[in-house]
Amino acid sequence: MSKRTLVLGSSSPFRRAILDKLHLDYQVAKPEIDETPLADEAPQTLVARLAEQKARAVAKQNPDFANAIIIGSDQVAVCDGDILGKPHSTAKAVAQLQRFVGKTVVFLTGLCVYDARTDKADVICVPFSVKFRNDLTTAELQQYVELEQPLNCAGSFKSEGLGISLFDSLIGDDPNTLIGLPCIELLRMLRKHQINPLAGDNSLA
């Protein structure tokens, strides 16, 4: 039986950095999908759907991955019931952070582990909440954005860096979830496929 390949279906350098720390042997492929939300789609449903769609798209777009285990993930931030994406500009990043002052922002991360050989997908939505300081000033937020340039981050901050200075508290089971890849759940899902970095071999025959 041919050896299985583990694939991260994401172009995110943050997710790749997380996966590197897990001592897993994997490849990277960028999924090409339409990420537009459906009409009246709940954020939990959106991230779960897109995570699975990304994983399936990688398998479909790359014939070499027909036997692979593929990881797909998607994340949104939710504040006051609104879905917030990546700011892509300094002005939008500062405006997004101004909106968060004194509030709790929920980050929802969709995670999918897809077995391309069996066409079976394991999908979950993992929440993580961040309570922002209520004494943050516009000058502080502008300085933060200038220093860290979090323009490609949902929520306009990097919790693994200086972004931690913006918070009163973090609420969740796995801080990696906030960065974009919930490792506790991912490793649990991978163990179902006999992929375990603690077993000495993360490839499934």
Q: Which amino acid is at 115?
A: D
List the catalytic residue out of 74, 80, 168, 201: 74
What is the pLDDT at residue 201?
57
What is the pLDDT at residue 160?
84
What is the pLDDT at residue 2?
53
Tokens 């759940």 sit on residue:
185
- Name the percent of the chain lying above pLDDT 70: 96
Based on the residue annotation, tell me whether 173 is a catalytic residue of this protein: no
What is the pLDDT at residue 151?
93
What is the pLDDT at residue 53?
98
Q: Are 16 and 26 in contact (CB under 8 A)?
A: no
Question: Is residue 59's pLDDT more than 50?
Answer: yes
Question: Is residue 1's pLDDT more than 50?
Answer: no
Strand blocks (E) in the chain:
6-9, 27-28, 69-79, 82-84, 104-115, 120-132, 167-171
Question: Is residue 90's pLDDT more than 70?
Answer: yes
Q: Are 10 and 57 in contact (CB under 8 A)?
A: no
Instruction: Give one DSSP letter per residue of 43-64, joined into a string.
Output: HHHHHHHHHHHHHHHHHHH-GG
Inside any domain, residue 205: no
Question: Is residue 64's pLDDT more than 70?
Answer: yes
pLDDT in tens, 128-169: 999 999 999 999 999 999 999 999 888 899 888 899 999 999
* Six-digit token string for 110: 């969709």
pLDDT in tens, 9-43: 998 888 999 999 999 999 999 999 998 989 999 99
Rounded to 10 degrees, the C-alpha dihedral 46/78/148/133 comes to -160
Say what the pTM is: 0.89
CA dist., res. 115 & res. 193, Å (int): 9
Inside any domain, residue 195: yes
Inside any domain, residue 165: yes
Inside any domain, residue 204: no
Tell me the average pLDDT of the chain.
92
What is the pLDDT at residue 3?
65
Assign 134 to helix, strand or coil. coil
* Six-digit token string for 139: 């000058």
What is the pLDDT at residue 204?
46
State the total domains in the chain. 1
State the residue range of the domain holding 123: 6-199
Question: Given CA atoms 88, 140, 163, 98 in this order, what sign does their dihedral have?
Answer: negative
Inside any domain, residue 121: yes
Inside any domain, residue 1: no
CA dist., res. 72 & res. 147, Å (int): 30
Q: Give the domain CATH number at 43.
A: 3.90.950.10
Q: Are 145 and 115 in contact (CB under 8 A)?
A: no
